[in-house]
Amino acid sequence: MEAAAGMEAAAGTAPQTRTEAAAGRAPQTRTSEPRALGVNTWVWVSPLRGPQLSELAIRAKRFGFEVLELPIESPGDWDPGFAAEVLAAEGMSARIVGAMGPGRDLLEDSARADTQDYLRHCVDMAARLGSPTVAGPFYARTGRVWRMDAEERRRSVGVLREALRPVADHAAELGVGLAVEPLNRYETSVINTVEQALDALDPLLGRGVGLALDSYHLNIEERSPAAAIRTAGEHLLAVQVCGSDRGPVGVDHTDWEAFFDALDDVSYTGALTVESFTADNATIAVAASIWRPLASSQDELARTSADYLHELQRRRHAEQTGNQATNEGPNQAKEPPR
């Protein structure tokens, strides 16, 4: 292998990245059960407050969602006991996401300890509500961008690894996965791609740490979102989806068939949660650059996404199981469930 790599270098051909290698893999026979669908309360409100939980859970369930993704912008915004009661009443489950707002940054000495405490709090909330993951861009304040040369990036990665390690240990003890999310280049300088995430988090992967991937950021930063998903592979812990413009899923230019093929290939069985934002909240509109309505209403954004994803998964599952039965032959095809 080393000799082959040397020959490539001598010939002037750069070795393949993980993502390029993933793009060239042969497709597998795909069969998958439809994944649970969720929606982030950021679609409607920011910050989430306790009294809003019941209304939003009822609304999300009516639109066909089974999971409510709950952001923790500030500890104490909502009560986990009340949230558990509301979700149980609707037959829903929770996913927890963190927010790296002002004052939260693992790369800044003055903010590191408080940020670690905040992330431990998020992990505790996830454990209490039965969320298998806490997802978010857990490295620097969202929106902080600066130029880094190779040496500064190397130092930053070293600081990040050491800062995340105690949080990852705490998450592993509680059985919660810390799902670190790459963001696009306009929101961070630290981790933009799956390749960068795997390199930066390498010593921690599989030890309470994995990746959260958002279709919006993949669309901006990855040459092939599907190949990036395959590159994440077994380390993919959480997936968020939205239209390529942060609007509804399914009325955009994303190749959702390829996206789902990749999820099947890496055997991702977790929830798919719709994450978008409202332009009505000044704080989050600036943070997420939401300058115009992305649908006729926020309800329509959620409903359209749920309808499209349910139908896409239903059709894919029917096609996959039908093809499997055809390949098995008439004597081997399983009787359909009653």
pLDDT tens for 240-266 read 999 999 999 999 999 999 999 999 999
For the chain, what is the domain count? 1
CATH of the domain at 46: 3.20.20.150
Domain range for 139 = 32-315
Question: Contact, 70 vs 41, CB < 8 A?
Answer: yes
Q: Average pLDDT in the 284-297 region?
A: 87
Q: What pLDDT is stored for residue 280 in this prediction?
A: 81
Q: Is residue 329 part of a domain?
A: no
pLDDT value of position 24: 56
Judge whether 61 lies within some domain. Answer: yes
Minimal CA–CA distance to 277: which of 57, 61, 39, 98? 39
> Could you tell me the pTM of the whole model?
0.88
- Residue 324 counted as domain residue: no
In-domain check, residue 308: yes
Separation between Cα atoms, residue 158 and residue 163, nearest integer Å: 9
- Any domain includes 284: yes
pLDDT digits (tens, 9 = 90+) for 55-70: 999 999 999 999 999 9
Q: Is residue 233 part of a domain?
A: yes
Catalytic residue set: 181, 275
Q: Which residue has the higher pLDDT, 21 or 286?
A: 286
Residue 330 lies inside a defined structural domain of this protein: no
Across the range 132-141, mean pLDDT stands at: 98
Residue 326 lies in a domain: no
Does position 278 have pLDDT exceeding 70, yes or no? yes
pLDDT tens digits, 138-165: 999 999 999 999 999 999 999 999 999 9
